[in-house]
Structure 1
Amino acid sequence: MTSLPVVNQPPHRCGALLDHLSRRMRLRSESVLAPLGLRPRHLIALTVLRDLGGSSQQDLAKTLEMDGTNVVGLLNDLEAENLVERRRSPVDRRRHVVELTDVGAKLLARAEFALAAVENEVLAGLSDDQREQLYELLHQATNKTETQACTEAAAEPGC
């Protein structure tokens, strides 16, 4: 039996490798976040709130690309642990403003430190220069993908 010829196929495909690396990173990240009482979605929300200096609940939902009801559940989790604080906007009483608490900022710093160790472990086979190159390539690919998504969904606000 003869094998079929491969036509127009590049020598390497990245999808499976990216998926494998992503899975390893996610599993290790979840294992270091769990003792801190955090899940990846908590970490993302805390990071966004820190970087923005707070946000309206509605704007946070848009930034996280989450349904408003799911954001309420997420914020309930974070508020129960005193990691965020929600209060009415002084400008528009219908809106809720969400801010990181001091407890939330300290826990976020601990989580980021733990995640840096995970990244060092998962990417141990790469030099510092290679890690920087990987970051730049992934950043470039991500930006291109997001730009294409916005072009395709031109009617979407925020693109």
Structure 2
Amino acid sequence: MSSSGDGNDLKSPENMVGVMMNYILRRMQAEADKDLLPHGMKTRHAVVLTLLRDLGEQPQSELPQALGIDATGVVALLNSLEDEGLIERRRSPEDRRKHNVLITKAGRRRLADIENVAADLEQRLLGLEPTELCALHTLLAKAMINLANGSHTPLAQSTSAQ
């Protein structure tokens, strides 16, 4: 994988999408953790709150897979969020041995505060114009859908064929 040096060799390591996304993710997460510190949070807390806000009440047993972390890590995250009154765990009405997790009003307020921090961070670190950022979001959402569906075919092709 040698680079031609002109920046157009898409197979060179520095131009591979995964390498670029990994670099951006690590930088943004480190900066976000610094920016969220005054709010008493880290990015992983914000991810849990966002998931619960967007998907509603969730079985605790399903959160490790949804978050991509082990059950022990999820319990630690939920404990810290619950201690601050940002989430609540309730017994499942279907199975009293299980718990469901939901975001509280305080959690929604905290999430609204930190979403402004995240938007400022995106602008500061990425330096993209609003139309460029919108295009990036669209492309990333498309890639996420394709990955979630296990598809290696571009979504536009698979939907236009229907």
TM-score by length of 1: 0.77
Q: Which residue of 2 aligns with 1:157?
A: none
Structure 2: gaps of 5 or more residues? 153-162
The aligned amino acid for 1:34 is L
Q: Work out the CA distance in 2 between the residues paired with 1:68 and 1:74.
A: 10
1:115 matches 2:118: yes
Q: Which residue of 1 aligns with 2:9?
A: 11
1:25 matches 2:25: no
Secondary structure at 2:97 match in 1: coil
Q: Does the 8 Å contact 2:3/2:9 carry over to 1?
A: no
The farther-off stretch of 81-90 and 135-144 is 135-144
- Cα deviation digits, residues 108-134 of structure 1 (max 9, x gap): 11011111111111122x222222222
Larger radius of gyration: 1
> What percentage of aligned pairs have identical amino acids?
37
TM-score by length of 2: 0.75
Query: What is the aligned length?
Result: 144
- Candidates 106, 129, 132, aligned match of 1:130: 132
How far did 1:5 drift?
Answer: 9.7
After superposition, residues 27-46 of structure 1 pair within 5 angstroms as 27-46=30-49
Secondary structure at 1:114 match in 2: helix
Q: Work out the CA distance in 1 between the residues paired with 2:78 and 2:25.
A: 26
Q: Does the 8 Å contact 2:87/2:101 carry over to 1?
A: yes
Q: Which residue of 1 aligns with 2:145?
A: 143
How far did 1:45 drift?
Answer: 0.6
The farther-off stretch of 64-73 and 76-85 is 64-73
Structure 1: gaps of 5 or more residues? 151-159
How far did 1:34 drift?
Answer: 1.1
How far did 1:149 drift?
Answer: 8.2
The aligned amino acid for 1:116 is A
